[in-house]
């Protein structure tokens, strides 16, 4: 079960190659900032989903 939904079979060599390309494109100092922004985006997305679920549950309780 070494496959992702949209990438097919991907191994350690491919992951290392992708990581090297990302480092070359963005630089080592920029990557933590990108990951921080990505984390904030994921957190905001999860909060939005939970808010929608709360609204739906309130409507169903009425």
Give mean pLDDT, residues 40-57.
Answer: 93
Per DSSP, 62 falls in state -
Between these two residues, 7 and 37, which has the higher pLDDT value? 37
| pLDDT reported for residue 30 | 86
pTM above 0.85, yes or no: no
The pLDDT, as a whole number, for residue 1 is: 47
Strands (E), the chain: 3-4, 8-9
Whole-number pLDDT of residue 37: 92
Q: How would residue 36 be classed by pLDDT, with cut points 50, 70 and 90? A: very high
Q: What are phi and psi of 29, to 5 degrees?
A: -80, -25
CB 31 within 8 A of CB 22: yes
Say how far apart CA 34 and CA 28 lie, in whole Å: 10
Domain extent listing, the chain: 3-61
pLDDT at residue 7, rounded to an integer: 62
């Amino acid at each position: 079960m070494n496959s992702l939904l949209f990438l097919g079979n991907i191994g350690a060599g491919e992951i290392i190659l992708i990581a090297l390309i990302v480092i070359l494109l963005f630089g080592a100092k920029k990557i933590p900032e990108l990951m921080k922004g990505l984390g904030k985006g994921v957190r905001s997305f999860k909060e939005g989903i939970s808010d929608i679920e709360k609204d739906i549950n309130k409507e169903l309780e009425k």
